[in-house]
Amino acid sequence: MKNLVIDIGNSAVKYAVFEKGECIWRCSASKNAVEEFEYACSLGIGHVAISSVSTTGDELHHAIEHIPYPTLKISTKTKLPFKIAEYIPDTLGADRISAVAGAYQMFPHQDVLVIDLGTCITYEYLTHEGIYTCGNIAPGLQMRLKAMHEHTTLLPEYTYDGIWPDILGTNTHDAMIGGVVWGIKGELECYIRTFRKANPDLQIVLTGGDSKSFIDKLEMPVCHESMLVEKGLNYILEYNFNE
């Protein structure tokens, strides 16, 4: 039997179907589309796991409410393969929980810093005892560009095309893009240096839609897993239904 995992983010929905721990189908779709969801459900699904950071009552959410399979909606109340420190509030996002689960599966019994470069940039710390202890949230790449446009009179709104800029720009476009991506690079390296200073054996895992732009630009070794959230969702699903 196959597992369907659904990651409903701020910008898009990611689907993945797993069989015996291997991803056999995946796609990304609009938050308002149901065609991909309906196709995934036609693949012989046995269980479903959902991570959602959206509360929009759109057609997709309506369809999900009527899934005819055993379904896990991830939260701090879900039975997890790792522990969440008691002082962490119940508002901890399902996407962050799923990313940490993916990192725990990759690096059991090791300290891990998970960095997810999506709409927001999140930082999550998991100890070698398997305890999620703390994390941060920062504006993501496109959010920073959009904020400069919305909070000024003359700065245009640009979208990053993945081409790495010079450290200083010679026009408005290059100056804004460079300011954001070089700023994020410095931010990532600061976090990594700070944590590794105290723990040289710390594992670093990058994920998220913008992570591919930084993985080869960082001046220290890190791991990259583009499907960390989806793999974490499948891990949680198997942990709940395969015991």
* Neighbouring C-alpha atoms within 13 Å toward the C-beta of 144: 20
Strand ranges of the sheet holding 13-19, from the earlier edge strand across to the other edge: 22-29, 13-19, 2-8, 45-52, 71-73
> Could you tell me where the DSSP H helices lie in 78-226?
94-106, 141-150, 172-198
The DSSP output letter for 131 is E
- What kind and span of H or E run contains 11? none
User: 95 catalytic, yes or no?
Assistant: yes
- Tell me which residue has tokens 């070089």: 182
Contact indicator for 37, 5 with CB cutoff of 8 Å: no
Long-range contacts for 214-218 (Cβ within 8 Å, ≥24 apart)?
A: 214/117, 214/181, 214/184, 214/185, 214/188, 217/164, 217/185, 218/185, 218/188, 218/189, 218/192
Q: Which listed residue (95, 111, 116, 210) is catalytic?
A: 95
Catalytic residue positions, numbered: 95
